[in-house]
């Protein structure tokens, strides 16, 4: 018997949705918009997210670690999130176009 609460299952519906938007290279770099759900839950999530990201541009090495922490926080709170980083996440490096 464990004293830890079980992680929420994937079948449970999200309690809210948030969009995390990269604003650009000048600080503040990020904004969090709550699209639907409990406003208190989303406001608390927004405060925690901005505390982790507000001074980090998207190309900072610390950003990747903090992005993972934000993802885990959202999963724990059952908030679906959408990252708007200003570029395609799965985009591959373009191949050279020298005609070969």
pLDDT at residue 40, as a whole number: 94
Which two three-digit tokens encode residue 51?
Answer: 């505390």
Please tell me the distance from the alpha carbon of residue 58 to that of residue 26, in angstroms, as a whole number: 11
Q: What is the pLDDT of residue 89?
A: 60
pLDDT one digit per residue (tens) for the chain, 100 residues: 444 445 555 578 889 999 999 998 887 899 999 989 999 999 999 999 999 998 999 899 999 999 999 999 999 999 999 999 887 665 444 444 454 4
Q: In what order do the strands lie in the sheet with 30-37?
A: 30-37, 16-22, 79-84
Q: What is the pLDDT of residue 81?
A: 94
CA R_g for the chain: 17
Count CA within 13 A, CB hemisphere, residue 72. 7
């Amino acid at each position: 018997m464990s004293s830890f609460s079980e992680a929420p299952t994937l079948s449970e519906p999200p309690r809210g949705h948030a969009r995390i938007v990269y604003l650009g290279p000048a600080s503040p770099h990020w904004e969090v918009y709550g699209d639907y759900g409990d406003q208190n839950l989303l406001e608390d999530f927004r405060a925690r997210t901005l505390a982790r990201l507000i001074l980090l541009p998207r190309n900072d090495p610390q950003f990747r670690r903090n992005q993972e922490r934000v993802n885990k926080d959202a999963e724990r709170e059952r908030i679906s999130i959408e990252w708007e980083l200003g570029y395609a996440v799965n985009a591959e490096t373009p191949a050279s176009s020298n005609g070969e």
